[in-house]
Structure 1
Amino acid sequence: MTDAERREAIERIRARRGFWVHLTVYLVVNAGLVLIWYLGSGGYFWPVWPLLGWGIGLAAHGFGVFVGVSPPSEERIQREIDRGRRS
C-alpha cells in the first residue's frame, strides 16, 4: 500500500464517519422537533419543513460519501494544474 492509497482510505473512512454523525444529529434534532410539535399545539405538522430541507442535504451528503464520483485521476489533476498555469 502506498502513502497515497493510505491517505485516500483514511479520507474515505472519515467521510463515512462524518455521514453517520450527520445522520445521528439529524435524527435526534428532528425527533426533538416532532416531540415539541406533539407536546405543543399539534395541529399543522410544521416539522415537515426542517425534515424535508435537512433531509435533502443529508441525502446529498450520503450520495457523495457512498455513491459519489471516483477520485480524480492523475491525468485530470495534471490538466487542471496546466489550466491554472495558463490563466
Structure 2
Amino acid sequence: MRSTKSESDKKWALRIHLLFYVLANLAQVVVWMLYDPEHFFWPMWSIVFWGVGLAFHAWSVYSPLRPDTEH
C-alpha cells in the first residue's frame, strides 16, 4: 500500500528543501569569504550539484501528473 502526499505537503517539503539549500550554501559562501577568498570558489560544487537535486525536486512537485502504470 502506497501512501501519497497531498499537493500542499509536497509544496511544503519543497519550500523546506529550498530553505535549507539557501541557508547551507549561504553559510558556505560566508566561510569561504572569511577564510579563503583568494582561492578557488569551492562552495560552487555544493551550489551546483545540490541545485540540480533541488531542480529535480521542484520538477517532481510541479510537473503534470502521469497516469499510474502499475498493473
TM-score (norm 1): 0.69
One-letter code aligned to 2:8: I
Structure 2 residue runs of 5 or longer lacking an equivalent are: none
Structure label with greater radius of gyration: 1
Amino acid in structure 1 at the alignment position of 2:35: G
2:24 to 29, 38, 41: 29
Structure 1 stretches of 4+ with a deviation exceeding 2 A read none
Is 1:14–2:9 an aligned residue pair? Answer: yes
Q: Select the residue among 46, 52, 61 that pairs with 1:50.
A: 46
Gaps of 5+ in 1: 1-7, 82-87
Q: Number of residue pairs matched?
A: 67
Sequence identity of aligned pairs in percent?
30
d(CA) in 2 for partners of 1:34, 1:18: 24
Q: Which has the higher contact order (CA 8 A, sep 6+)?
A: 2
